[in-house]
């Protein structure tokens, strides 16, 4: 057995000095760089030349019984490993609380905002992973934008060597990243100095405790000095984690030696033992309460604190209690550990199901990415599908830690593959848009070259053609769309406004006629009938004659004729006379408007319409008469039969009216 194998801590538990780093510590060291370097290679440890009397073994063969520390199980080692992670930097645990976010889905502005939040609300040493992800995504997106701007610059006639582009978002991001680099550099520099200084301070405290054994003075004064050194040790701050175990082992060793030395004054020692015993009982009671807590994570975190208090804040207890209280504390720790392990086992099963769901989602994303679309609408549909799958991925919950990073990487790769396909499509689409832009600019040039031409017969068909051509050309880049449309529209409007003004001057008499008809229409609306049908019919006919006498109006104003004859029909409808006679009076007034010796198209249309209507009514009459055959055995006073006869009579009466109209139209041709 080596000299150091006899070292025991203040509770009688063996602590074997080791310069090796536990896997947990090694991982923690790799996570935070640069690592502080000690000014000494190892912490000096002096073993006693003989076992202190209170630790002497009384068993046969002079072999020591297994101590509580030697019997330590996984549940205690897990606590020690967790506390060792915080030995160098008490803020390490915070980095596990930062929320993982889908930075790949964020825009450059959103990434910049997230970066700013990290700098403002979190310790600089806890955000490096997130900063690196944000930086990678931001640079990828900015490089894509840079390529687009470069293509636009070259397409507009620029020389590639002269291209330069930045924007406010990029400037702000660069500023934040510079701030981060300066802050993290300052933090590590300061931390390295603090860790070195704290280690030196702790080594000095150990040396001063060693020196107390050789001081020849009042024991009460020596004890007071010892308690002051213990308080300084508690407040000495974090040290390099690779020196943590050695420093604490050495410190406990020399604390024990001092208590061995102190046995000369039992009152002071026993008072300390009593205080430590009472405090450790409180720790045990709290640990036993935590063993009943259903929140396993919360109870484990507090248990870590209790173990730190046990180890770092409190000294030894009387030898007769050491094994007993450690066993009790260890059992409470094991209960919490076992409950936590069961919780993690259940969580692992849930995580496995989450993993299956996430892998299904990734497969779906990969399938969508592999299916190449060739239209904007198709890609928009695929984008919505991907967004829904992304949301489902994040709602699916956590997966086993061992596959967390690989699953996340697989998801990002699937989404990135989709985005590459999407970006490739829209990149080609942009090329087409630039081709369209070139074509539309050519049409603008034609419009502007001809907008002041007086050759209306030649240029008007040309202007109409380029307007149609414009509609057939596809989309252009959005930033140019409004600008070129306004330019094209202005040139076309300039030409057609000139043409219309010219034609208006040539056809001023038509516009004068329109103004007169507007006044006649207003007068007709205000016309009061006398209830003398004959007189009112003559009045309305005179209004029609007056309207017709005014003559034609411009082509685009002919809608006023329809309004006038609608008003005439409304006036006729107010007359109290037989419906069929009224219908003929209205029709005769209508024929007055249709009569035009030079253009019979309107009259022709009316003639064809009347003939068609007559045929329809005859067909209806035949159908009704055929229906009567089904009622041959039914009495004539049957309501259904009477209704059919009534309909036939109405149709025949209507037929007579239409035949009269046809006669009137034929008479118009012979005039």
Q: What is the pLDDT of residues 24-44, one digit of tens each?
A: 333 333 333 333 333 333 333
pLDDT higher than 80, residue 218 = no
Both 224 and 249 in one domain: the answer is no
pLDDT band at residue 505 using 50, 70 and 90 as cut-offs = confident
**Terminal-residue alpha carbon distance, the chain:** 142
Whether 132 is covered by a domain: the verdict is: yes
Query: What are 457's two structure tokens?
Result: 């017969």
Alpha-carbon distances, residue 626 vs 163, 354, 616, 644 (angstroms): 88, 76, 15, 10
Residues 586, 613 within the same domain: no
Q: What share of the chain is helix, strand, coil (3-state, %, to 5)?
A: 75, 0, 25
Q: Is residue 47 part of a domain?
A: no
Indicate the SS3 state at residue 576.
coil
Instruction: Give residue 595's pLDDT.
Output: 66
Kindly state the tokens that stand for 516. 């007169």
Q: Got the DSSP string for 146-207?
A: HHHHHHHHHHTT--GGG-----HHHHHHHHHHHHHHHHHHHHHHHHHHHHHHHHHHHHHHHH
If asked whether residues 192 and 258 sit together in one domain, one would say no
* Mean pLDDT score, 96-124: 85
**Is the confidence at residue 238, as pLDDT, over 90?**
no
The reply to whether 152 and 195 lie within a common domain is yes
- pLDDT surpassing 50 at residue 93: no
Provide the domain limits for residue 368: 350-429
Task: For 415, list phi and psi in degrees, rounded to 5.
Answer: -65, -40
What angle do the packed helices 533-550 and 508-525 form, to 10 degrees? 160
pLDDT at residue 461 greater than cutoff 90: yes
Token pair for residue 39?
């000014």
Write the pLDDT tens digit of every residue in 271-291: 888 888 999 999 999 999 988
102 and 233, same domain (yes or no): yes
Q: Which of 50-54, 99-103, 556-560, 612-616 has the highest mean pLDDT?
A: 612-616
Token pair belonging to 422? 């999407």
pLDDT value at 69 more than 80: no
User: Do 542 and 458 fall into the same domain?
Assistant: no
Whether 38 maps to a domain, the answer reads: no
How far apart (Å, rounded) are the C-alpha atoms in residues 530 and 539?
Answer: 10
* Residues 535 and 631 grouped into a single domain: no
What's the total number of domains in the chain?
A: 6
- For residue 14, the cross-strand partners are 8
Residue 42 inside a domain? The answer is no
pLDDT at 177 over 90: yes
**Domain final position from 187, 210, 238:** 238
Report the pLDDT value the prediction gives residue 557, as an integer from 0 to 100. 86
What are the beta bridge partners of residue 8? 14
Statement to judge: residues 76 and 101 lie in one domain? no
Q: Which of 348, 373, 397 is the last residue of a domain?
A: 348
Instruction: State yes or no: pLDDT of 586 exceeds 90.
Output: no
- Are the CB atoms for 525 and 567 separated by under 8 Å? yes
φ, ψ of residue 8 in degrees (nearest 5): -130, 150
Residue 564 placed within a domain: yes
Tokens 């001057």 map to which residue? 505
Residues 335-367 pLDDT 10s: 888 888 888 888 888 889 999 999 999 999 999
This model's pTM is above 0.85: no
Among the candidates 215, 238, 261, a domain finishes at 238
Gap between the Cα atoms of 500 and 522, Å rounded: 27
């Amino acid at each position: 057995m080596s000299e150091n194998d006899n070292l025991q801590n203040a509770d009688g538990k063996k602590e074997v000095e080791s310069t090796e780093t536990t896997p947990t510590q090694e991982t923690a060291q790799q996570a935070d760089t640069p690592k502080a370097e000690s000014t000494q290679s190892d912490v000096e440890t002096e073993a006693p030349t003989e076992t202190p009397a209170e630790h002497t073994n009384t068993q046969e063969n002079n072999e020591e019984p297994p101590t509580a520390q030697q019997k330590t199980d996984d549940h205690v080692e897990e606590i020690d490993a967790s506390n060792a992670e915080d030995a160098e930097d008490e803020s390490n645990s915070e980095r596990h609380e930062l929320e993982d976010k889908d930075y790949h889905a964020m825009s450059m502005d959103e990434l910049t905002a997230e970066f700013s939040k990290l700098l403002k609300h979190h310790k600089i040493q806890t955000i490096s992973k997130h900063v690196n992800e944000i930086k990678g995504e931001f640079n990828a997106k900015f490089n894509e934008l840079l390529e687009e701007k470069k293509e636009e610059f070259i397409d507009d006639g620029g020389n590639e060597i002269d291209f330069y582009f930045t924007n406010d978002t990029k400037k702000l991001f660069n500023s934040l990243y510079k701030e981060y680099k300066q802050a993290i550099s300052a933090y590590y520099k300061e931390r390295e100095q603090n860790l070195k200084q704290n280690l030196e301070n702790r080594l000095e405290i150990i040396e001063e405790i060693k020196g107390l054994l050789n001081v020849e003075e009042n024991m009460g004064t020596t004890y007071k000095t010892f308690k002051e050194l213990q308080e300084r040790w508690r407040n000495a701050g974090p040290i390099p984690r690779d020196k943590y175990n050695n420093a604490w082992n050495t410190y406990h060793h020399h604390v024990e030696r001092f208590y061995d030395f102190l046995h000369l004054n039992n009152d002071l020692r026993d008072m300390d033992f009593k205080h430590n015993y009472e405090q450790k009982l409180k720790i045990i009671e709290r640990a036993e309460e935590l063993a009943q807590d259903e929140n396993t994570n919360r109870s484990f975190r507090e248990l870590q604190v209790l173990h730190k208090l046990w180890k770092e804040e409190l000294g030894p207890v009387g030898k007769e209690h050491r094994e007993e209280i450690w066993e009790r504390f260890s059992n409470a720790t094991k209960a919490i550990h076992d409950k936590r392990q069961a919780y993690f086992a259940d969580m692992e099963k849930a995580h496995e199901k989450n993993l299956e769901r996430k892998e299904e989602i990734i497969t779906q994303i990969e399938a969508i990415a592999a299916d190449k679309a060739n239209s904007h609408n198709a890609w928009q549909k695929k984008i919505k599908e991907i967004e829904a799958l992304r949301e489902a991925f994040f709602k699916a919950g956590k997966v086993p830690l061992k596959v967390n990073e690989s699953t996340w990487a697989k998801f990002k790769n699937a989404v990135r593959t989709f985005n590459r396909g999407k970006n490739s499509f829209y990149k080609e689409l942009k090329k087409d848009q630039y081709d369209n832009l070139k074509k539309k600019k050519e049409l603008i040039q034609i419009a502007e070259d001809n907008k002041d031409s007086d050759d209306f017969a030649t240029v008007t068909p040309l202007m109409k053609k380029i307007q149609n051509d414009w509609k057939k050309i596809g989309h252009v880049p959005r930033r140019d769309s409004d600008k070129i449309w306004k330019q094209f529209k202005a040139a076309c409007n300039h030409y057609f406004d000139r043409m219309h003004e010219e034609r208006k001057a040539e056809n001023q008499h038509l516009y004068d006629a329109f103004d007169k008809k507007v006044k006649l229409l207003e007068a007709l609306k205000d016309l009061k009938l006398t209830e003398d049908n004959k007189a009112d019919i003559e009045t309305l006919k005179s209004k029609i004659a007056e309207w017709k006498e005014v003559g034609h109006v411009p082509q685009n104003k002919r809608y006023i004729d329809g309004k006038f004859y609608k008003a005439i029909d409304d006036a006729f409808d107010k007359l109290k006379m037989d419906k069929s006679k009224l219908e003929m009076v209205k029709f005769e007034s209508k024929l007055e408007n249709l009569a035009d010796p030079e253009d019979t198209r309107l009259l022709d249309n009316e003639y064809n319409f009347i003939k068609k209507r007559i045929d329809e009514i005859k067909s209806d009459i035949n159908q009704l008469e055929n229906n009567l055959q089904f009622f041959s055995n039914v009495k004539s006073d049957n309501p259904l039969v009477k209704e059919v006869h009534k309909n036939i009579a109405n149709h025949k009466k209507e037929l007579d009216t239409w035949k009269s109209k046809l006669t009137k139209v034929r008479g118009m041709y012979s005039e």
